[in-house]
Structure 1
Amino acid sequence: MNIIFGFHRGSRAKFYIYIFGFAILTLILTVYIGCKSTTNDEVETFEVQYGEFIVDVEVTGELKAHRSENIKGSRLVSTNLKIAKLAPEGETVKEGDFLIQFDTSEIEDKIEEQKLDLAEKNLELEALLAKKEIDSIKLERELKIQQLSFEQQKMNFALAQFKPKSEQRKMQVKMEQAETNYNDKLDEIKSKKLEGRETINRKYNEVKKISNLINTTKKQIESSTIYAPIPGLVVYKEVYTGLGSYEKIRVGSTVYYHDILIELPDLSKMCVKAELSEIDIANVKLDQEVIVTIDRDESVYPGSVIYIAPIERLVYTTAADGTRKERSVYDMEIAIGNTENDGSLKPGMAATCRIITDKFQNTLYIPVQAVFEMGDETFVYVKDDGKYKKTPVVVGKNNKDYIIIEEGLESGQLVTIGDPYKKLQEIQRNIKEKTKIQDEKRETKMYR
């Protein structure tokens, strides 16, 4: 019984030794294969490219319409306006389409009163004109009588030359009296005509004033409906509602004539409003080519620089520790081409713009992460037959991602992204750490 038991225990010990040896061998093979594959995979390489190289400045901004109209209330109507009807917000309208209708009920009542006043004044004017005609006929008749009397006395005076002096004197007095009466009648007629003309002119002015008021009121009614001066997108604006509060316009809102009620951006021509740093301002010029990418769907459009502010603007930011920092920026605008006016581009969309400041043809370039500097030496690591060779290079201009290689490399060569030896050291450290952890786990199991 003891012999059998002892033999059984010896066989089990050998069995565990074989199992342990097999596990160690498997672990060594795994570590070796893992080390080899990791070394090959984690040292990233890049093939030297040959072709066109673009130097650019990247800015971000948001879309706005190149042309936009602010729609205000009509000053002709009154200081306070009540909105009766509105074009839907977000609707694209053409030039001449309806936008806003103000309530005109008070104006329509006012024009009816003015029409009644005008009719009354016209009746008064007609009465004055009729009276003038009658008075004119009467005065002309009286003047004619005075004229005949004067002429009669003149004839009598002429015939009295052969009569005594006393008779001549009487005839002369009568003639002079008749002449005076005639002249007085002339003056009276002139005075009454002038007075009548002034009265009629005043009445004419009253009629004209009321007529002008009616025309103004009609214009008020016409101007109470506002139409789109340009094609664009209907965007409601906020107006002051009292007690420091603002809200978007709506049907029933009471607004002032100077309030901006609707913004009407013309979507047929869009641009990007962006900020340019003082570092990049020297490299950016008007009319430079731009590649515009819309962040929402990554659609790409051609563009060009159309505006650069002549004066810098200070922008203030607050850091996490509460300190306030300032930086200088230049406002700029980039026109977008080929929008096709389909409404896909809307104001406020975020965009990334690559402003092309220079282009180089037939040149070599690699990622900027592949170039190293140590003292006065600039070099890269070229991968050749599984080894990494430190290779001096002469570099040229660069953009955000790539740099030109003027000397030292050829098209198609492989360069490493980052220092390959640091990568290998990291890989070896990772392998040692993994091996240590596995050894600790194995020892823990053996003790159990």
Structure 2
Amino acid sequence: MCALLAGSGLGVGVWFSRGRDATADERASRSVRVQKERFVRSLLVSGELAAVRAVRITAPPFRGRGPFGIKGLAPEGSHVEPGDLLCQIDNSSLVSTLLTEDLNLEKAENDLVKKEAELEVQIKDLEIQLGQNKLELDKAKLKADIEKSLLSLRDWQDYQFAFQKAKKEYEKTTKSLELANKAAREEVALLRLKREQTAGRIAQLKADIEALEIRADRPGTVLYEIFPPSRWNGEVPRKMQVGDQIFWGWTILSLPDLREMEVRAFVSEVDGGALRPGLRSRIVADSYPGAEFGGTLDHIPELAERLGKATNVRVFTATIKLDRTDPKIMRPGMSVRAEIILDEEEGLVLPRRAVFEENGKFYVRSAQGVKTEVQVRARNSVSCLVEGLAEGTEVKI
């Protein structure tokens, strides 16, 4: 993943001899002169662009056992405005429950209306009965109030008995009416509570269904997040996709702020010790190889992490702060190559092909064919920083 460069090619000094005869031209085409130049040691790494700031969109709390499936996603890279649909989480089970609760609410309302009608009839009958009892009581009282001396003993006793009987009937009906009213209030209250509870569940279900339609609250560009590695996906990190089963709180996607980007550079564990904050970098996006951006190494984590659960490769995810961001071409997740400048110095530089190795030692061959030992202080894919030669020495390549 990472290639350590001891130079970036800036330190290669190549001058061909300018003789006019054919022999000199042929010799120049196969030789170079050692020149003192600025030699740069660097580390070439791969990475990706990321937004410095982003709004993360997470799955809402589910009122039920998870997981829930992703039914739809806004296309990655698409621009959204406030109110646009970002993610549709499968709501089929909630919709089914809502239909059942709608039927329950209709039944609860019908039961309430029916019970109120029944109780109204029952209480009306008792009120009529109470009126009749009151009339009988008043009539009996009139007779019971007649002077005893004006009646025979038998009639007076009959009137007193009739009055007590009418009074008991009146009190009995009054008590029945009180109990009926109390029972009616309790039964109606219970049915109303049942209706309200059902209506509350319906309101909550509607809110839950609406919450499963995740909409943007600000403008932005859609970027899918990584689906957590697990036994369901072979423990291989990948981005979220339609059909994934998710739990509440999982991050589904994000809306990055494209005005300020940074580079997440993946540095192999063996090269991490060479890094330090403040190192300058040159960044090239794979999609736009002609555009180069500068940056500064901003953060190196203390611990390397496994690149994935399926591999033992460990990397440091370093952060490179860009000098500037170009929203026209830069997008989060875009792959880049970064050359981190480790250090630089003045020295004698030769192309790598001018230096050869024998038995652990390094040599060059002069234009006359004489083999000369040199010390290679550093090298990269194109250049070597050498000692043991005089500046301007011509060597074969």
Q: TM-score, normalised by structure 2?
A: 0.56
Contact persistence 1:76–1:219 (CA under 8 A)? no
* Residue in structure 2 matched with residue 367 of structure 1 by the alignment: 346
State the AA in 1 paired with 2:210: E
Amino acid at match of 1:272: V
1:215 CA drift (Å) = 3.4
**C-alpha contact (below 8 Å) 1:267/1:346 kept by paired residues:** no
Q: Per-residue CA shift, 1:305-345, capped at 9, x if unaligned?
A: 77676xx325689xxxxxxx999x98654444643433523
- Alpha-carbon distance in structure 2 between the residues aligned to 1:224 and 1:210: 21
CA distance in 1, matches of 2:331, 2:225: 18
1:192 aligned onto 2:161: no
Q: Tell me how far 1:255 sits from its aligned partner.
A: 2.8
- Given the alignment of the two structures, is residue 63 of structure 1 paired with residue 49 of structure 2, yes or no? yes
- Structure number with higher helix proportion: 1
The answer to whether the Cα contact below 8 Å between 2:115 and 2:188 also exists between their aligned partners in 1 is: yes
Higher-Rg member (1/2): 1
**Which secondary structure state, in structure 1, belongs to the residue aligned with residue 332 of structure 2?**
coil
**Residue 339 of structure 1, aligned match among 308, 325, 332:** 325
2:127 alignment counterpart: 140
Where 2:390 maps in the other structure, the secondary structure is helix
1:121 matched residue in structure 2:
108
CA contact (8 A) 1:43 1:417 kept: no
Aligned residue type for 1:263:
L
* 1:354-394 superposed Cα distances (whole Å, 9 cap, x missing partner): 699xxxxxxxx962669xxxxxxxxxxxxxxxxxxxxxxxx
Structure 2: stretches of 5+ with no match in the other structure: 1-19, 350-384
Contact 1:82 1:103 in 2 (8 A): yes
Query: 1:421 is paired with a residue of what secondary structure?
Result: coil
Distance 2:239 2:305 in 1: 29
Task: Report deviation, 1:250.
Answer: 5.8
Q: Which position in structure 1 is the counterpart of 2:263?
A: 272
- Hey, what's the Cα distance between the residues in 1 that align with 2:71 and 2:224? 17
Cα distance in structure 1, aligned partners of 2:189 and 2:341: 72
The residue aligned with 1:235 is 224
Question: Which residue number in structure 1 is paired with residue 369 of structure 2?
Answer: none
Alpha-carbon spacing, 1:43–1:83, altered in 2? closer, same or farther (3 Å):
closer
CA distance in 2, matches of 1:82, 1:37: 69
- The question of whether the paired residues in 1 share the 8 Å contact of 2:34 and 2:391 is answered with no
The 1:65–1:241 alpha-carbon spacing in structure 2 relative to 1, beyond 3 Å, is same
Q: Distance in 2 between matches of 1:213 and 1:136?
A: 33
Shift of 1:272: 2.4
| 3-state SS, counterpart of residue 253 of structure 2 | strand
Contact 1:237–1:260 under 8 Å retained in 2: no
Inter-partner Cα distance in structure 2 for 1:98 and 1:227: 4
Please, which of 387, 390, 393 is the counterpart of residue 421 of structure 1?
A: 390
TM-score under structure 1 normalisation? 0.51
User: Cα RMSD over matched residues?
Assistant: 5.9
What is the CA-CA distance between 1:178 and the residue it aligns to? 5.6
Matches within 5 A, 1:45-60: 45-46=36-37
1:202 and 2:181 correspond: no
Seen in structure 2, the aligned counterparts of structure 1 residues 101 and 70 have a Cα distance that, compared at 3 Å, is closer
Identical residues among aligned pairs (%): 18
Determine helix, strand or coil for the equivalent of 1:204.
helix
AA partner of residue 345 (structure 1): R
Count of residues paired in the alignment = 328
Unaligned runs of 5+ in 1: 1-28, 48-55, 318-324, 357-364, 371-415, 431-448
Letter in 2 for 1:421: A
Secondary structure at 1:294 match in 2: strand
